[in-house]
Chain A
Amino acid sequence: MSKGRFGEFGGQYISETLMNELINLEEQYEYYKNNPEFNQELNTLLNEYAGRPSLLYYAEKMTQDLGGAKIYLKREDLNHTGSHKINNVLGQVLLAKKMGKTRVIAETGAGQHGVATATAAALMGMECEIFMGKEDTDRQALNVYRMELLGAKVHAVTSGTQTLKDAVNETMREWSCRVADTHYVLGSVMGPHPFPMMVRDFQSVISKEAREQILEKEGKLPDAVLACVGGGSNAMGMFYNFINDEGVRLIGCEAAGQGVDTDRHAATMAKGTLGVFHGMKSYFCQDEYGQIAPVYSISAGLDYPGIGPEHAYLRDSGRAQYVPVTDDEAVDAFEYMARMEGIICAIESAHAVAYARKLAPQMGKDESMIICLSGRGDKDVAAIARYRGVEIYE
């Protein structure tokens, strides 16, 4: 079996044109991840620029309202650029710079990863181009302008379903045209090795902090940890340092759109089957011939037909569980979080909040859970208004 495997999942299913670059990336990453100078630079960026460590906030009102487990929120929404995406991006762009690259490219769905990449590129003086599905550039127009403000060039991808998977296709095509000076800042724990491992490592700061923070506050580990999953980067970051703590339930919340029994969802774990796509063997929403299915979610960030290989492994080995959450449930949770705790969270994160609302009342008052609030919801306000029949324009 080739490198970068999590059980049977993962691998390097990518064109020969990119293979040497992936091998080079792996070697450079393996070198720099143990390099004290690199780590010091990265930690300074994370702490002084991105605002880490992020808060672990006790949601007291929500806890009382639900009447069960104590609920803590890991506030990745408070990071610079407004989501967990900055953790990975600062790591990868710094690495790219060390590797002598002068240009970074990235895909984006909702625009969070694109904004984070454009931000890091501006900070570190790199040229930056972002690929975003045409449908997403329309529903997240503000983020497109944000990226342009930061000096990035944004390409609207018109092929296929014009969403996140097509943005990944196009970024891969662009990378294969130009690898010598260009690094592809993949935004999730997916793609060919070494990306799933490297992105997980950069995101694992979330659970490293959260584990220390909850031990300090509660004197014991949480009973459950929840995060939303599209490709799965905030979830992998939130789970990683709890994997060996067997008593901690790991729960990923995926986008069920209009329901897993309709054809309008992005619930890879509930409905997907084993396949090979975007460089990895994992689960995908696809038809009987292995054609990748169009997927749907109200959340552009979860609107992806696959899931990172390590999640597939965690699910099949029984270590983590994955639950579907519908658009309706997520929108309710979005509004609930705003009114209950005064926090407007990303519609992606609201998928995890929605499941927490079901789970917390079933748990004891002596138990606790952490929800990863992966991003802030400013970007979603107009879309949620439209969902509720209110026509407002950004």
Chain B
Amino acid sequence: MSRIADAFAGGKAFIAFLTAGDPYADKTVDYILAMEEAGADMIEIGIPFSDPTAEGIVIQEASIRALNAGMTTDKAFEIVEKVREKSQIPLAFMTYLNPVFHYGYENFFGRCESVGVSGIIIPDLPYEEKDELSHIAQAHGVDVISMIAPTSRQRIQRIAKEAAGFIYVVSSMGVTGVRASIETDIASIIKSIREVTDVPTAVGFGISTPKQAEKMAGVSDGVIIGSAIVKLIAKYGEHAEGALREYVKSIKDAIS
């Protein structure tokens, strides 16, 4: 069992996302540690990609800021090394397949293992294609996180049966980003998942307010928030720590 299980061990999990290198690498380390202190149970670190096709405008812009500031896959690993000097919080990477492919699967997951990254979320790697890297990731103790979408229907159980770490339930159609409301029947998707696996579920895409988080955590094992956090970093730049602590605490309190 990977470190990811720890995130779900103490009740509902709050998984917080930020983009590596936005606004710069050392700040990302500070922000991860601050969010952990404020109550985040796991951090999802985005390795920026030039063309993030599953991302809304907020994370697209963060990716560009980070790349322009010189962020690379190697530097993302260095961020994790610095976090690991002070923290054992469960960590997952989120990126697109091309940067991982280019780094080399063996190199990439080997490095994940040595620095202590327990999971990876790759939105352009569906169930049909995951075999090309899942055995390599597994050999290095890294869970390839499965995603289930509102359109998955008869695919839900097939995907869930092979899931590891946690299952990322995509709340809505479209790309990442803040939404006024979430219309998908998450409860019935989770019911379908529960018929075939005990792997924990976390709901992401479009969640920003404590109220939404509470509602989503009510039907699942946790929530993932990205754009709302990245927005704070975009707004406050290198002075976002206070705002992040306050926001993370408000979400954690709402789901606890």
Say whether A12 contacts B126, CB under 8 Å: yes
In the bound complex, residues from chain A placing their C-beta under 8 Å from that of B54 are 15, 173, 176
In the bound complex, residues from chain A placing their C-beta under 8 Å from that of B170 are 16-17
Q: Among B6-14, B32-40, B82-90, B97-105, which stretch is in contact with chain A? A: B97-105
Whether A288 is near chain B, meaning CB under 8 Å from some CB there, is yes
Q: Among B149-157, B191-199, B222-230, B235-243, which stretch is in contact with chain A? A: B149-157
Say whether A276 contacts B127, CB under 8 Å: no
Say whether A13 contacts B125, CB under 8 Å: yes
Whether A28 is near chain B, meaning CB under 8 Å from some CB there, is no
Q: Given the complex of chains A and B, what is the CA–CA distance between A15 and B128 in angstroms?
A: 11
Q: How many residues of B contact A (CB 8 A)?
A: 40
Whether B148 is near chain A, meaning CB under 8 Å from some CB there, is yes
Q: Among A62-70, A200-208, A289-297, A319-327, which stretch is in contact with chain B? A: A289-297
Q: How many residues of A contact B (CB 8 A)?
A: 37
Smallest CB–CB gap between A135 and chain B, Å? Answer: 16
Say whether B175 contacts A176, CB under 8 Å: yes
Q: Given the complex of chains A and B, what is the CA–CA distance between A128 and B72 in angstroms?
A: 39
Q: With A159-B60, A160-B50, A176-B175 in contact, do A19 and B127 touch (Cβ < 8 Å)? A: yes
Whether B183 is near chain A, meaning CB under 8 Å from some CB there, is no
Whether A259 is near chain B, meaning CB under 8 Å from some CB there, is no
State which of B49, B74, B129, B149 has its C-beta within 8 Å of the C-beta of A291: B49
Say whether A13 contacts B97, CB under 8 Å: yes
Q: Mark A266-283, 1 if CB is under 8 A from B, else 0.
A: 000000001111110000
Whether B218 is near chain A, meaning CB under 8 Å from some CB there, is no
Q: Give B91-125 interface residues, CB cut-off 8 Å to A.
A: 97-103, 123-125
Q: With A11-B129, A276-B124 in contact, do A16 and B149 touch (Cβ < 8 Å)? A: yes
Whether B173 is near chain A, meaning CB under 8 Å from some CB there, is yes
Whether A177 is near chain B, meaning CB under 8 Å from some CB there, is yes
In the bound complex, residues from chain A placing their C-beta under 8 Å from that of B153 are 20
Whether B73 is near chain A, meaning CB under 8 Å from some CB there, is yes
Smallest CB–CB gap between B147 and chain A, Å? Answer: 5
Q: Given the complex of chains A and B, what is the CA–CA distance between A276 and B133 in angstroms?
A: 13
From B61, which residue of chain A is reached at the shortest CB distance? A159
Q: With A13-B125, A178-B173, A289-B72 in contact, do A21 and B151 touch (Cβ < 8 Å)? A: yes
In the bound complex, residues from chain A placing their C-beta under 8 Å from that of B97 are 13, 276
Q: Given the complex of chains A and B, what is the CA–CA distance between A2 and B149 in angstroms?
A: 20
Q: With A2-B129, A16-B148, A172-B53 in contact, do A289 and B73 touch (Cβ < 8 Å)? A: yes
State which of A2, A17, A276 has its C-beta within 8 Å of the C-beta of B173: A17
From B152, which residue of chain A is reached at the shortest CB distance? A16
Q: Given the complex of chains A and B, what is the CA–CA distance between A17 and B54 in angstroms?
A: 10
